[in-house]
Amino acid sequence: MKVNRKLAIAAGLFSVMGLSIAASLPQQGPPKPQNLKVLPKNISGEQLDHIMDMWAASLGVHCNFCHARNEQTNHMDFASDAKPEKKMAREMFQMTSKINKKFFEAEKDSLGMVKEASVNCYTCHRGTAHPEVKIPERQHGPGGPPPGGTPPPPPPPSGNN
């Protein structure tokens, strides 16, 4: 099979040019996470996305619940602290971390993240942004009075003694 020599040379030159242009372009990786105040500074973008996805699912929300939109670029400004929900999320993360450390002796991984949390966002939120606070109704019946209540009176003596 004869190969057209001019065609082979042209293909080779285009390949070399393409590789040299690609090598000269700046390497664009995923953006480095910015403005991290409670999460580890050395967290990867992939790990951060995983954590944010878990938090969003636990609260039944999307990114814009905590993160503001940059009106000039029309993209999410993840580094911005413009929304109070982001500050609350940080405080809640610190709270659950303290609970897990104090009461559940939670171990941390190489990034300083809790490996297996006993308490997390879903513990209270159950897929809602603002969990309902409900006080249980008082019920008297089998099992006796609620804790802290007075004990029931003893049964009347039977006449068969």
75 phi, psi to nearest 5 deg: -125, 165
pLDDT averaged over every residue in the chain: 81
> What does the pLDDT look like over 67-117, one tens digit per residue?
999 999 999 999 999 999 999 999 999 999 899 888 887 777 776 666 666
pTM of the predicted model, to two decimals?
Answer: 0.62
69 phi, psi to nearest 5 deg: -95, 135
Looking at per-residue confidence, does 149 or 53 come out higher? Answer: 53
Q: Where are the alpha helices (DSSP H) in 25-156?
A: 45-59, 84-104, 121-125
pLDDT at 71: 93
* Ranges 74-83, 95-104, 124-133, 150-159: which has the least confidence: 150-159
- Find out whether 70 and 77 touch, Cβ atoms under 8 Å: yes
Residue 133 has pLDDT above 90, yes or no: no
Q: What is the mean pLDDT of residues 118-136?
A: 89
